[in-house]
Amino acid sequence: MKYLHLIWSNLTRKKLRTSLTLLSILVAFVLFGFLSAIKQALVGGVAMAGANRLVVRHKVSIIQLLPEAYKARMERIPGVDLVTHQTWFGGIYQDPKNFFMQNPVVPEEFLSMHPELVLAPEQKQAWLTTRTGAIVGRNTADRFHWKIGDKIPIQSSIWARANGSRTWEFDLVGIFDGRAKTDDTTPMFFRYDYFDEERRASFGRGLVGWYTLRVKNPAEAAEVARRVDQEFENSSAETKTEPEGAFVQAWAKQIGNIAFIVATILGAVFFTILLVTGNTMAQAVRERTGELGVLKAIGFTNGQVMGLVLAEACLLTVLGGLTGLGLAWAFIARGDPTGGLLPLFMFLPRDLAVGAGLTLALGVATGFFPARAAMRLRVADALRRM
Amino acid sequence: MTALVNWLSQIGAITKVGLMSLPQRRGAAASTVIGIAGVVAVLVGVLSIAAGFKAAMTASGSPDAAIVLRSGADSEMVSGLSREQTRLIADAPGVARTAKGPLSSAELFVIINLPKRSTGTDANVPLRGVEDAALLVRDQVKITEGRPFEMGKNEVIVGVGAAREFAGLQVGSTIKVGRYDWPVVGLFSAAGGVAESEIWTDAKVLQAAYNRGDSFQSVYARLESAGKFDAFKDALTTNPQLNVKVSRQSEYYEEHSRTLTTLITTLGVLIAALMAIGAVFGALNTMYSAVAARTREIATLRALGFGRGAVVVSLLLESLLLALVGGALGGGLAYAAFNNFHTSTMNWQSFSQVAFAFRVTPELLVRGVIWATVIGLIGGLLPAIRAARLPIAAALREL
């Protein structure tokens, strides 16, 4: 610590060079923040999945509907604690760009299945007593400036009403929050009983999209999944049951191998920055050969000289890196830049910690060779070059 | 005239000295080159994803082909048409005809789960029921292996893209949809278009398997010429028995590719722009140190009567040259790593997978080189100006 002043003076000797290097490191870590947030937005749903929840869907594909009558049969299967279902509504609010999910659910069992959605008790009560009632997540409510009591018209491209109209109107009775920051609060949920009575009888009445079920004992999940699929084997609608996490992960993988793409880009960025910074450090050490010789001549050990150079590199990367991470944090905190496509666009503390670790690693990597060169300097050679 | 020649020869002389001294600064020069190569590689690489996706989506639609959906439906998935409606559409004016009848195919579009080869997890693969005329409506469709499916049988043919991306789709294998087994009897190509990601069968057989009665989701029609589109559209939209939306196939698929293409392009440019800022700092660093190392040389030249302009231009040239080498390296790297890289992704409009290949197009490479040039110019300009402004006497005294 007592050498901090010396390290600092070395850094501020060539102010222009130091600030240019600092800025490129800063940029690299701003980019790191963005890419982490994008990755989180695309694959973050996996972390939300409950370990004790299974998703049951039609074996052929999720667009095939399942009979609502399956619910009673699933409830009788040993190990099953609670069963609820959702159906993809595919509605549009004013403009197709305003995308968010809306699904009909059975309120009581849905809320009990998803304790991560927090709804005020009086709002829950209002939902249970309002047939046309709907609840929406905080994110979407804020986005469209909705408040409780609003009437929300939604156009459905899939579901026509018995009277032929495709416009469904809902009364907003509640706004829910997520228990954790990473819980998605963009969807809207409305009542299945209203939906089922109101939809055209010839198209899908009595059919639902997929089931979510809770198992009594998470250790038994695989066994319960097998029992469910067995129950409906050889029926007209066979099922495929899997843990919620696997289901969500398969979705993310349908988009493409995001983690790999992000890692590749980050790799290219860091390699580039490593070169720029490494070059600066090497130059700085070369210029100071004589001084380093003097330091050694007045009694600094090889280790101390090496430490000085390494500390200088680390100070540079940590300073630039932390500023960059801070900037990224501030920008990402403003929310999803695409307006609804990426509801989970956020910079998690975990990724922030990884970034902070990387700043130090980058410092060691760029400082290592110049530091070793400095350590190996022979006093006589170094002084002769002055 | 002689002044110009003189000026040019001054630039030539300074540039030559600069380039000859590059080996002494090879660390710094290499870091500039590689920094710029990184920017260009990332820019071209990411944009090649968007270019490939868009190419796959738009290769499908020729301007003289039309697609008809239920009014209000933005994709086949949510559309619905009855048998009577599809007949009215086939008989509309403007539809090309052969001895066998109109070139129109009423189709069904559903999705089945098949494991993706690369991840082993389930993906939504489109399964399309088509009529006889489908291969004539889309004239680029060719059977590349095996034979076409027989009408009335549970047989399928598979697009080459789907066969490559998803497991179990070779000729001779069997897919299970519901309670039926469907043998794969052939593979087909479609000029790289979106149909290559699909599995095709007879629409009637698919209707039966999915309890769809006698309903369809879309009609694909070939018109007598691209100019007949408006007449065809007017005839359908003014027919009181129909309530449909008519689009050119090219526009329909262009529309479907827009969201994803825009998203990827925006992200790619944003990432590359941030990297470019970093690379500019790197280039500035290099050129500033180049100027610092050659302070005495430059001052000597100036004392000998070389002009300020010549100093600026020759330093810019040096920086530009490094940038262009970096740009070429980055473009070449992106081409080697990404061009024709096969993958598939989700098309959210049709809720199904599209197989495509990344495409590093000449336009993208040019774009990469332009970026490199701009980075090189910015990185060279400030140091060059500093060099030109050096007070000659003070700089010489540094000797």
Q: Find the largest Cα–Cα distance for chain A.
A: 97
pLDDT tens track for A157-184: 889 898 888 899 999 999 999 988 788 8
Three-state DSSP string of A163-215: CCCCEEEEEEEEEEEECCCCCCCCCEEEEHHHHHHHECCCCCCCEECEEEEEE
Contact A265 B271 (CB under 8 A): yes
Q: Residue B270: its chain A contacts at CB < 8 A?
A: 34
ipTM of the complex: 0.77
pLDDT tens digits in sequence order for chain B, 399 residues long: 788 888 888 888 888 888 888 887 787 788 888 888 988 998 999 899 999 999 988 887 778 899 999 988 888 888 889 999 999 999 999 999 988 889 999 999 998 989 998 888 888 999 999 998 888 888 788 999 999 999 999 999 999 999 999 999 999 999 987 678 899 999 999 988 889 999 999 999 999 888 788 899 999 999 999 899 999 999 999 999 898 999 998 889 888 888 888 888 888 888 888 888 878 887 887 788 778 878 888 888 888 888 888 888 988 998 999 999 999 999 999 999 999 998 888 887 788 898 999 999 999 999 999 999 999 999 889 898 888 888 888 888 765
Q: What is the DSSP secondary-structure string of A113-170? A: H-TTEE--HHHHHHHHH-TTEEEEEHHHHHHHT--TT-EEEEEESS--BTTS--EEEE
pLDDT for A366 equals 87
**A151's tokens:** 């009437």
Contact B28 A283 (CB under 8 A): yes
The C-alpha atoms of residue B143 and residue B158 are separated, in whole angstroms, by 9
Cα angle B189, B191, B193 (rounded to 5 degrees) comes to 90
User: pLDDT-based confidence at A270, cuts 50/70/90?
Assistant: confident
Q: How confident is the model over A333-340, as a mean pLDDT?
A: 71
Amino acid at position A312, single letter:
E
The C-alpha atoms of residue B306 and residue B160 are separated, in whole angstroms, by 65
pLDDT for B277 equals 83
pLDDT tens track for A7-28: 888 888 888 888 888 888 898 8
Q: Does B215 touch chain A (CB under 8 A)?
A: no
Q: Does B122 touch chain A (CB under 8 A)?
A: yes
pLDDT for B399 equals 52
Interface test with B, best of A13, A31, A316, A366 (most B CBs within 10 A): A31
Assess contact for A138 and A118: CB atoms under 8 A: no
Helix (H) or strand (E) holding A332: helix A302-332
pLDDT tens track for A38-85: 888 877 766 666 778 999 999 888 888 999 999 999 999 999 999 999
Q: Does B43 touch chain A (CB under 8 A)?
A: no
Q: Residue B116: its chain A contacts at CB < 8 A?
A: 253-254
User: pLDDT-based confidence at A107, cuts 50/70/90?
Assistant: very high
Q: Does position A344 have pLDDT exceeding 90, yes or no?
A: no
Q: Residue A271: its chain B contacts at CB < 8 A?
A: 34, 38
CA-based nearest residue to A110, from A91, A89, A90, A84:
A84
In terms of C-beta density within 10 A (0-12 exposed, 13-18 middle, 19 or more buried), how is residue A229 classed?
A: middle
Q: Which residue has the higher pLDDT, A142 or B396?
A: A142
Q: Does position A386 have pLDDT exceeding 60, yes or no?
A: no
Where does chain B have alpha helices with state H?
2-20, 26-59, 83-90, 134-137, 160-165, 203-209, 229-237, 249-293, 295-303, 308-338, 362-389, 392-397
Three-state DSSP string of B19-65: HHCHHHHHHHHHHHHHHHHHHHHHHHHHHHHHHHHHHHHHHCCCCCE
Assess contact for A152 and A93: CB atoms under 8 A: yes
pLDDT for A223 equals 92
Q: Does position A256 have pLDDT exceeding 80, yes or no?
A: no
Which 140-159 residues of chain A touch chain B by CB within 8 A? 155, 157-158
Amino acid at position B246, single letter:
V
Amino acid at position B4, single letter:
L
pLDDT for B365 equals 96
Contact B275 A27 (CB under 8 A): yes
Q: Does A167 touch chain B (CB under 8 A)?
A: no
pLDDT tens track for B298-326: 888 888 888 888 888 988 998 999 999 99
- Range name among A152-156, A219-223, A270-274, B191-195 with the lowest pLDDT average: A270-274
Q: How confident is the model over A194-221, as a mean pLDDT?
A: 90
pLDDT tens track for A279-335: 777 777 777 888 888 888 898 888 888 999 899 999 999 999 999 999 999 988 887
% residues pLDDT > 70 (chain A): 96
Which 36-75 residues of chain A touch chain B by CB within 8 A? 38, 59-63
pLDDT for A340 equals 63
Q: Does position A187 have pLDDT exceeding 90, yes or no?
A: yes
**Residue A234 zone, left/alpha/beta (φ > 0; ψ -120 to 50; rest):** left
Q: Does A20 touch chain B (CB under 8 A)?
A: yes
Cα torsion A285, A287, A289, A292: sign: negative
